[in-house]
Amino acid sequence: MAMSVGSSGDDDAPISTINTTPLVDVMLVLLIIFLITIPVIAKTVKVSLPKAANIATQTKPENITIAVDGNGVVYWNNAAVSDQAQLLELIKVEAVKDPQPEIHIRGDSNARYEDVGRVLNAVQRGGVVKVGFITEPDRGIRGTR
């Protein structure tokens, strides 16, 4: 309950403060209603769901790994690539193979998005369809920002 203590001298002036008591009362009633109705809604049909296992990516010999380090240097299967034109030519050679190999892009966490974007653009222009990004699994450790 709101109560005004003291007077400003003008008893006819409207009270300019917001009374939040009705808002709190309504919110508590809504909370109680939700707590009562959630168990009714949560009942579902019992089914046997398939079990899934997270399997690490199997690196096949025909997969190609393109890495981008923190300085923007691009590596094709651990060999440095001199420029974008050479990278595009390497990708075009792989794109015509049947079956087409997958390209895995590994971007350093300190690499600029622009550098990784250039690699992705070259892969797209080269005609490779299967592209994936390699990341480290989340081990529950959060970095500080």
The residue segments making up the domain with residue 93 are 64-133
The tally of domains found in the chain comes to 1
Stated pTM of the model: 0.55
DSSP letters, 42-95, are T------PPP---PPPP--TT-EEEEE-TT--EEETTEE--SHHHHHHHHHHHH
The region of weakest confidence among 8-12, 17-21, 113-117, 141-145 is: 141-145
The region of weakest confidence among 22-31, 53-62, 121-130 is: 53-62
Instruction: Summarize the confidence of residues 120-138 as an average pLDDT.
Output: 88
Instruction: Summarize the confidence of residues 40-52 as an average pLDDT.
Output: 64
| Residue 14 pLDDT greater than 70, yes or no | yes
Residue 35 lies in a domain: no
Q: What is the CATH number of the domain that holds 104?
A: 3.30.420.270
